[in-house]
């Protein structure tokens, strides 16, 4: 009878005696355990209770799964490398993230491989990073879509998500920051401390979770003060300097554009584009238009005027994600969710004076 290879997990190639679409996830689901538990059972280098072992083996027998031990050495061969998938590498946000990840990877004696990947990239056999060249994978935001994350998950490949929650039914660890409450507090500050009520939103990338939750916080702050959400005060900023600049410049060139007295730029890179567009239009920050950002990037205090923003611990996010990935590699249970707190940093761009901002 012919055997068909369907994938491998921690050193075992999983084989079925019949052509089938059954995956390791199906084994885990039928056994009522996680994919990680099935992986530990197959690899036999981490404890699995006798009861669970019997259940997993019974399901594998029912599904005709046969571990091929002769492939163990090839599949277990360490690459001593960690992969990091990013959507791009030119945004200033990524420098501290990379620094945090690299510090942990270096301490562990591993190499860090970095590649960019767009979620519309579909061919799983041409992913720039994966089990062919890395021992585990860090995935930033929407550099992989849910289907692609599921492909890695079903192969049992160690993976941690950054600034993204896993798809439903997939127990992949993730690390992110608090977005909603901080944005709500920041927009509330514009309204209560500076009387700004026509606050333009530079919307972040479509479908990115940071963008979604920041907009939720923005809308909540408006609702708190009885200000109706106005779609004409929303522009596409995409967390990118050039995109934010182009969008706001086009908006300002329309003599009939709706008036506004403040901008929530979405993030600090977009805020730089907002600064440029406002300055070219002869508008002064914060006298004519207040501007606030998110992340507290290294350039934020050096802009003119210094940027009021939300401080996100981006470097620590990188360290946390890398630590969780090494826990997986060491067959230790990772933290399923790591949520880092954020805080408001008041500077001059919102309308605060240097003295009052320093006193906050």
Q: For residue range 83-137, list pLDDT tens digits in order.
A: 999 988 888 899 999 999 999 999 999 999 999 876 665 454 467 888 889 999 9
Distance CA 160, CA 158 (A): 7
Q: What percent of the chain has pLDDT over 90?
A: 64
pLDDT digits (tens, 9 = 90+) for 40-82: 777 665 567 888 888 888 888 888 765 544 334 444 567 899 9
User: Per-residue DSSP letters for 137-203?
Assistant: EEEEGGGS-HHHHHHHHHTT--EEEES-PPPTT----EEEE--HHHHHHHHHHHHHHH----EEEEE
User: Please, what's the largest Cα pairwise distance for the chain?
Assistant: 80
> Is 219 in contact with 213 (CB distance < 8 Å)?
no
Query: Would you say how long the chain is, in residues?
Result: 360
| Region 180-313+344-358: CATH code | 3.40.50.2300
Residue 114 pLDDT:
95
Answer whether residue 8 shows pLDDT above 60: no
| 7 band by pLDDT with thresholds 50, 70 and 90 | very low
pLDDT digits (tens, 9 = 90+) for 161-209: 999 999 998 999 999 999 999 999 999 999 999 999 999 999 999 889 9
Residue 16 pLDDT:
34
Reading the block at residue 101, the tokens are: 């990840």
Distance CA 324, CA 332 (A): 9
| Region 78-175+314-339: CATH code | 3.40.50.2300
Q: In this predicted model, which residue has the larger pLDDT, 23 or 296?
A: 296
Q: What are the start and end residues of each CATH 3.40.50.2300 domain in the chain?
A: 78-175+314-339, 180-313+344-358
Would you say the C-alpha torsion 157, 162, 167, 168 has a positive or negative sign? positive
Q: What is residue 311's three-state secondary structure?
A: strand
pLDDT digits (tens, 9 = 90+) for 11-49: 333 333 333 456 677 888 888 888 778 777 776 655 678
> Is 158 in contact with 39 (CB distance < 8 Å)?
no
| 3 band by pLDDT with thresholds 50, 70 and 90 | very low
Output the CA–CA distances (angstroms, integers) from residue 346 to 127, 203, 254, in the order listed.
42, 21, 31
Reading the block at residue 131, the tokens are: 């089990």
Among candidate residues 198, 199, 193, the one with its CA nearest the CA of residue 353? 193
Among candidate residues 320, 315, 311, the one with its CA nearest the CA of residue 339? 320
Distance CA 281, CA 273 (A): 13
Residue 15 pLDDT:
38
Among candidate residues 100, 112, 30, the one with its CA nearest the CA of residue 64? 30
What's 4-74's CATH class?
mainly alpha
DSSP 259: P
> Is 247 in contact with 235 (CB distance < 8 Å)?
yes
Residue 44 pLDDT:
60
Among candidate residues 351, 353, 216, the one with its CA nearest the CA of residue 291? 351
Q: In this predicted model, which residue has the larger pLDDT, 53 or 226?
A: 226
Q: What are the start and end residues of each CATH 1.10.260.40 domain in the chain?
A: 4-74
Peptide bond into 92 cis (omega under 30): no
Answer whether residue 4 shows pLDDT above 70: no
| 347 band by pLDDT with thresholds 50, 70 and 90 | very high
Residues 6+ apart with CB under 8 A from 68: 12, 13, 15
Question: Order of strands, edge to edge, in the sheet holding 111-116?
Answer: 111-116, 81-86, 136-140, 159-162, 174-177, 337-340
Residue 120 pLDDT:
60
> Is 174 in contact with 55 (CB distance < 8 Å)?
no
Answer whether residue 296 shows pLDDT above 70: yes
> Is 17 in contact with 1 (CB distance < 8 Å)?
yes
Among candidate residues 307, 319, 273, 280, the one with its CA nearest the CA of residue 98? 319
């Amino acid at each position: 009878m012919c055997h068909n290879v369907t994938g491998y997990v921690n050193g075992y190639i999983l084989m079925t005696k019949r052509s089938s679409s059954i995956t390791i996830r199906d084994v885990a689901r039928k056994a009522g355990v996680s994919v990680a538990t099935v992986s530990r059972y197959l690899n036999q280098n981490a404890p699995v209770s006798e009861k669970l072992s019997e259940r997993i083996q019974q399901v594998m027998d029912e599904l005709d799964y046969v571990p091929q031990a002769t492939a163990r050495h090839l599949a277990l061969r360490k690459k001593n490398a960690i992969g990091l998938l990013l959507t791009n590498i030119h945004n200033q946000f990524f420098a501290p993230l990379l620094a945090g990840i690299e510090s942990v990877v270096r301490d562990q004696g591993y190499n860090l491989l970095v590649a960019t990947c767009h979620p519309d990239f579909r061919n799983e056999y041409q992913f720039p990073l994966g089990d062919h060249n890395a021992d585990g994978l860090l995935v930033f935001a929407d550099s992989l879509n849910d289907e692609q994350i599921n492909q890695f998950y079903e192969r049992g490949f160690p993976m941690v998500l950054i600034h993204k929650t896993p798809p439903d039914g997939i127990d992949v660890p993730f690390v992110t920051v608090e977005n909603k409450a901080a944005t709500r507090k920041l927009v509330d500050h514009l309204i209560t401390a500076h009387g700004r009520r026509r606050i333009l939103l530079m919307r972040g990338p479509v479908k990115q979770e940071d963008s979604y939750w920041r907009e939720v916080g923005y809308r909540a702050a408006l609702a708190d003060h009885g200000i109706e959400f106005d779609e004409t005060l929303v522009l596409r900023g995409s967390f990118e300097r050039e995109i934010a600049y182009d969008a706001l410049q086009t908006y300002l060139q329309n003599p009939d554009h709706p008036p506004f007295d403040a901008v929530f730029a979405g993030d600090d890179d977009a805020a730089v584009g907002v600064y440029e567009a406002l300055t070219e239009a002869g508008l002064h920050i914060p006298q004519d238009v207040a501007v606030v950002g998110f992340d507290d990037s290294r350039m934020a205090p050096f802009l003119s005027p210094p940027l009021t923003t939300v401080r996100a611990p981006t470097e620590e996010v990188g360290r946390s994600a890398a630590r969780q990935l090494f826990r997986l590699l060491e067959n230790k249970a990772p933290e399923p969710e790591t949520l880092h707190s954020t805080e408001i940093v008041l500077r001059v761009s919102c309308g605060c004076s240097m003295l009052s901002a320093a006193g906050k």
